[in-house]
Structure 1
Amino acid sequence: MISSNDFRPGVSIELDGAVWRVVEFLHVKPGKGSAFVRTKLKNVQTGNVIERTFRAGETVPQATLEKRTMQHTYKDGEDYVFMDMESYEEARLTPAQVGDRAKYLKEGMEVNIVKWGEQVLEVELPNSVVLEVVQTDPGVKGDTATGGSKPAIVETGAQVMVPLFISVGERIRIDTRSDTYLGRE
């Protein structure tokens, strides 16, 4: 159990049979009446966001999440196959379970799989990945005055905006949280 006074962004709680992650919270102490905590919660499974108010000091069950380091070994048809780095067990995840993170998944990449009981909630990628550019337009000389950018497709199929000087075959570092170019490798 966790008190509503201990809510912080990133804390996971169980509410109405689902796992919710605290996105924002505000402890309000009005002049008249008792204090309360106004929160914005995100459902980890569906992505829905709700606002909920708790009395100050109210306790709610904290979600017991298990985070395992697994390696993406290969893609079998539609499913993604991951191997547990400690027990060497395989786990198959559907494209729905992997979500939009699949655009940066590369064979051999280590990721964190977050589980609630036996249910996989999310796949956590590293904050940045290094991928090779496989397609991009050549930079035109003289177009650099504004510091422009152009689209590039990397080896996993993801499209990222890169500076004009990047060419095919270069390895670039990409921020997986914001889908932005960080630099050359």
Structure 2
Amino acid sequence: MKINGNEIRPGNVIEHKGGLWAAVKVQSVKPGKGGAYAQVELKNLIDNTKLNERFRSSESVEKVRVDTKDFQFLFENDGMLTFMDNENYEQIELARDFIGERAAFLQEGMAVTLELWEEKPIGINLPEQVTLEITETEPTIKGQTAASSYKPAVLENGVRTMVPPFVTVGEKVVIDTTEVTYIKRAD
């Protein structure tokens, strides 16, 4: 579907320069001289390269329709992650590099959403939050206020993050999987 350059929004997937690109950031610019344009930060969905482009409202780009499908994470074996399609129970294997560092948050049985283009996986959405146990952190120092300072901690999956001083080893905490930040103690 063709759209004008000024209609590009974050999250849109477009065909540009022979590749598939996701719009990460979009800024409308209206210079004092000349026509308005959209300054768009694009991320290549195949090789993860980034590109900044200007699109004028008179230009048109091809917006790509991306399908989403629900999958369940089963297991990891030799750097390959196995997922099961929730509709037909077929399994698909993806390289750990496909997800990158966020693969550490995958847990057996976790529901994920794969983004597909022409039946080929081009992206994955993990749950926004996961609950993990703190395996290592510094002891609380008496008199340290919780308002201003955070301390380093290691989660059960080996990921490092910052937590408030009142959090101790063995506690379960809720972590944001996108920003890798502490949200709250688990209930």
TM-score of the aligned structures, taking structure 1 as reference length: 0.87
Equivalences for 1:11-50 in 2 at 5 Å?
11-28=12-29, 34-50=35-51
Displacement over 6 Å in runs of 4+: none
Q: Compute the displacement of 1:142 (Å).
A: 2.9
1:42 & 1:6 partners in 2: Cα distance?
Answer: 17
Q: Which runs of 5+ in 1 are unaligned?
A: none
1:104 aligns with 2:105: yes
Equivalences for 1:112-151 in 2 at 5 Å?
112-144=113-145, 147-151=148-152
| Aligned position for 2:53 | 52
2:29 & 2:183 partners in 1: Cα distance?
Answer: 39
AA aligned to 2:122 is L
1:163 aligns with 2:164: yes
C-alpha distance after superposition, 1:23-61 (max 9, x if no partner): 333444556655433322222233322222223132211
C-alpha distance after superposition, 1:139-179 (max 9, x if no partner): 23233377422222222221111112112221101111211
1:152 aligns with 2:179: no
37-46 vs 71-80, which deviates more?
A: 37-46
1:179 & 1:90 partners in 2: Cα distance?
Answer: 28
Distance 1:68 1:140, change over 3 A: same
Asked if the contact 1:105/1:156 (under 8 Å) is kept, the reply is no
Asked if the contact 1:106/1:156 (under 8 Å) is kept, the reply is no
AA aligned to 2:72 is Q
Q: Compute the displacement of 1:18 (Å).
A: 1.6
Q: Compute the displacement of 1:3 (Å).
A: 2.0
TM-score of the aligned structures, taking structure 2 as reference length: 0.86
Cα RMSD after superposing both structures: 2.2
AA aligned to 2:125 is E
Q: Identity over aligned residues, as a percent?
A: 38
Q: Which runs of 5+ in 2 are unaligned?
A: none
Q: SS at 1:143's partner residue?
A: coil
Asked if the contact 1:101/1:123 (under 8 Å) is kept, the reply is no
Figure out how many residues of one structure are paired with residues of the other and give that number: 185
AA aligned to 1:10 is G
